[in-house]
Chain A
């Protein structure tokens, strides 16, 4: 006896205005009597504070209260009856937005972060009375913003110009780096559609010490309002290498980062929480010291690193 959910879309992406459709597939060697087959959808923002910048008490308190977007909306697909033996497919469809009553919350897009999880689930439940355990299974589906709700303004093509030199660094540098100097210039878009890559370019103009690597770290910044304190945690989502080794000077290198799905979402600044993104450009210089610290967090300032942090606003476009 098994039960399975299959959504109509392979990528499982639905917009709030759309119907979530699919099939319930029941496989059984004998016929099953039941008291009704029900589909339930749930959507919530789960907030959790783990270590990092949170204090001991917050850690102990642990989970902040989850924010419900969609509370257990239930639809009966079949009234009580019998499912014959063999494989049975039961189609279902339900809207997730309730037009009459106001929604509890905005339909935030699905996001899987470190401390913040925005998740939508669909659950099927076949109850079989008190004597038998009810059959049920759950599946996640992904919500993206409605096209109608999206801002029509185009993503600003403007790029932020950045300079990275020994003088822009606030942390101590290797002496020969400090004295010899270096200069890396570039530009990058700071507003970006989720469906497009982050783009820009970068040029090494000078460097006293050979460069070992230039990497671009995509950071997510998750903030949670915990009591009166805002707990913020930064973590690296994706690293993209731009230059491997001591590249030729004065050659333009492109910045091209495809944004990972699920791990990114439109920048959200809600009351109880916020999800923001940043890009850190890290230049690693060749150094004997660096080899001893190869496992440290790449965005921590070190003597042999130069970095520049740029904000990145992610938006969903039509």
Chain B
């Protein structure tokens, strides 16, 4: 058995493709464009806000801000679109209402009307009986009280009722429909379970709307039908009352008198509101009765019921496409009186009261919000002044204001909705208003906060901004709590940054620091703090500017948890200028990419020190260790390229890698990094290090066995290619005379044979690689070398030594036997054929075709033939190759 001698240089030249010079890089874009892009990035003006980063900042702030943004976008961007489709908006409003105040799963006990418990098994009476009884004596049912029903049942019963009403209507039993609807409306009188009210409201008004629509359609049909039932006209969209025949008017009147006969005030109002559009059949100005309804609503003393009743009113007014806001303004003014009353009730001594009051106000809040939105949707800029006047907030009504102070929560929602020009033009007045309206209904600091956000929407004049900011800063210096301080500061940071108010910036940072030091930072304050710090970071371009602000770093130190990480990440991000953020490994990724991008230039020692520090600081991030090893390897290569002066530095780098490597938990990664480091060590002439690393690599291969579970094919292929890479590395590694020249290949072969998870396919590939390695080592000139000056290759070390070649041949023989045996173990025919051909190719190109080799090869081809069709291209080309080799060797 003799190895085939190779002339690698000649072979390379013979097989290389002819090369042609290209004018352009195939991947480069037209050069002019690249330049322009770079310019934009470098010279972007100060006011430019990256839209992606902007939204990211906002996403981090609290829910309240989201609401602000949301509502702003409704007013600003999609205002017109939503105007066109108020019903959709109403649906989504109701949904959000129910989400905000979900029905508790717990059991409710209350004097629930019988309609709600009707369907339950506890009653043996038939439903009709129940109805009759209820009609006769509605009081009785209320008295029984204390019935138990879960929130879920409550909602599903409401759904059932809707179906029942709809069903009765279409079965021409409109009286039942109306009766049930009245009962549903009566449910709204019960505010004993505060938390449930919004859900009840949403479902009940759904039913009201449905009834209103059905009545409208019915009367419309009557107006369009002749008495004999044939359609005689289409009612135009903009019909007037005189277009309507007396028959239809009669029906309409009937409906109104039926509703007028409802004893209780609240259901009467709701149903009249539901039928409000029907007034058009009777009168040309259907809104005339609205003023009366607004006044009637005053008769509802319960603050919650009356607030939601006004909410429904606002919805019904919008359905009419009315631009009249007089009624809504009256509503708001009545609201204020109502709220003042709620706020001023202090007579009860129970401690629970304030909690209850807070819940009540938070339940009422969406109604104020919606009504305010409705008002300002229809208001032109010129009208804003008169609207404010109507609400008692006009700028020239100072004396009125003192007498009739605005309720903070109303002010809040007003401030949310008024156009931003108005906010800016009368910013100081608003500040005074906020100052004077300080009550329990709403946190005053949130109004200051909102003002800040509103001011950010547009650029305003320096003077105003200065005055407002001075005033606000003056106010918040008196705040003792960190939370309220942060909330206000958060809103003004952007203004301060944009206007370069460095003094204020410093003072607020100091303010935050002193409060945070004395009280610590609570969980919920972290988010706001994070938002503030991130704003700072996104404003400054240079990290140094941030680091120069000592309070900033101190505050950062006081933070903890994810918020701190997020700020840290933003700092890292500033360094990397890499805005992509995807998954939960984000911090690790960012740190890793940051570390990999750090460059100390020629100060490689410091760079290595930095890596050491990173390893100490981020011991928990596994991801990072990989980066650290890579970085240190890169450093070593860099030093290598720099000449021979750095040999000890390279040693330190390798040592750093060696120390870091064992703690990498991902085994395939570890294996690859061992190989990489071994290669670097070899290039650095550190043969003993590379030997050690190769040993470690083989060891880690052995540990692989320990890993349990089925190995995925990708994984196995990865290991396979790593092993193949190891063989290619071994070509350069000088043989160790102590262990013998075939020490590593032998080790690997026995390793391969002992690993049960290795498939025959993998083994065949590995054995082929061993054969190739041995063939390569036998050459006079090795195909490639490490640095020839530092590391002597085997070619030079053992050249011509007969025992060396003998040992290689011996080893080869052993491997060949293994190879042939392994092929036969492969169960799949097709795979076995391919493997046989692969091995045949490998053997044929490695050896001179002696008798022994030829018989092995022809056996392998026979195996191939038996496993695949004779026309298989691989088989054909292999046979051709064999023939060629035999002929050429004969020629030689």
Contact = CB atoms under 8 A, between A and B. Distances in A.
Contacts of A67: none
Contact of B257 (A201, A240, A243, A261): A261
Interface residues of A, number: 30
B265 A243 contact: yes
Nearest to B267: A241
Contact of A241 (B143, B247, B265, B302): B265
Interface string A208-251: 00010011000000000000000000000011111111111001
A244 B299 contact: yes
B257 A241 contact: no
Contacts of B247: 10
Contacts of B296: 253-254, 256
Given A197-B260, A244-B266, A256-B292, A295 B139 contact: yes
Of A238, A243, A244, A294, the most chain B CB neighbours within 10 A belong to: A244
Interface stretch (B333-341, B448-456, B591-599, B778-786): B333-341
Contacts of B298: 247-248, 251-253
A256 B189 CA distance: 20
Nearest to A195: B253
A253 B250 CA distance: 29
Interface in B131-147: 139, 143
B334 A251 contact: yes
A258 interface: yes
Contacts of A258: 256-257, 260-261
B257 A253 contact: no
Contacts of B256: 258
Interface residues of B, number: 27
Interface in B255-303: 256-257, 260-261, 263-266, 268, 292, 295-296, 298-302
A239 B263 contact: yes
Interface in B301-352: 301-302, 305, 334, 337-338, 341
Contacts of B250: 10-11
Contacts of B139: 294-295
A260 interface: yes
Interface string A252-269: 111011111100000000
Nearest to A199: B292
A294 to B, nearest CB: 6
Contacts of B143: 294
Contact of B261 (A238, A246, A295): A238
Task: Please indicate which of the listed interface residues B266, B299, B301 has the most CB atoms of chain A within 10 Å of its own CB.
Answer: B299
Contacts of A238: 261, 263
A243 B296 CA distance: 8
A240 B296 CA distance: 12
A280 to B, nearest CB: 14
B261 A244 contact: no
Given A10-B247, A248-B338, A241 B299 contact: yes
Nearest to A210: B301
A254 B301 contact: no
Contact of B301 (A11, A247, A252, A294): A247
Nearest to A257: B260
Nearest to A217: B263
B403 to A, nearest CB: 14
B265 A242 contact: yes
A244 B301 contact: yes
B321 to A, nearest CB: 25
A244 B300 contact: yes
A244 B337 contact: no
B261 A254 contact: no
B295 A252 contact: yes
Which of the listed residues B247, B268, B296 has the most CB atoms from chain A within 10 Å of its own CB?
B296
Contacts of A245: 300-302
B878 to A, nearest CB: 98
A274 to B, nearest CB: 25
A197 B296 CA distance: 14
Nearest to A295: B139
A259 B260 CA distance: 8
Interface of B: 139, 143, 189, 247, 250, 256-257, 260-261, 263-266, 268, 292, 295-296, 298-302, 305, 334, 337-338, 341
30 contacts: A197-B260, A211-B301, A215-B263, A238-B261, A239-B263, A240-B260, A241-B263, A242-B299, A243-B301, A244-B189, A244-B265, A244-B300, A244-B301, A244-B302, A245-B300, A245-B301, A245-B302, A248-B298, A248-B301, A248-B341, A251-B337, A253-B295, A253-B296, A253-B298, A256-B296, A258-B256, A258-B257, A258-B260, A259-B257, A294-B143
Interface of A: 10-11, 197, 201, 211, 214-215, 238-248, 251-254, 256-261, 294-295
3 nearest CB pairs, A to B: A245-B301, A258-B260, A243-B299
Given A197-B260, A241-B299, A253-B295, 11 more contacts: A238-B261, A242-B299, A243-B301, A246-B301, A248-B298, A248-B338, A253-B299, A256-B296, A258-B256, A260-B261, A295-B139
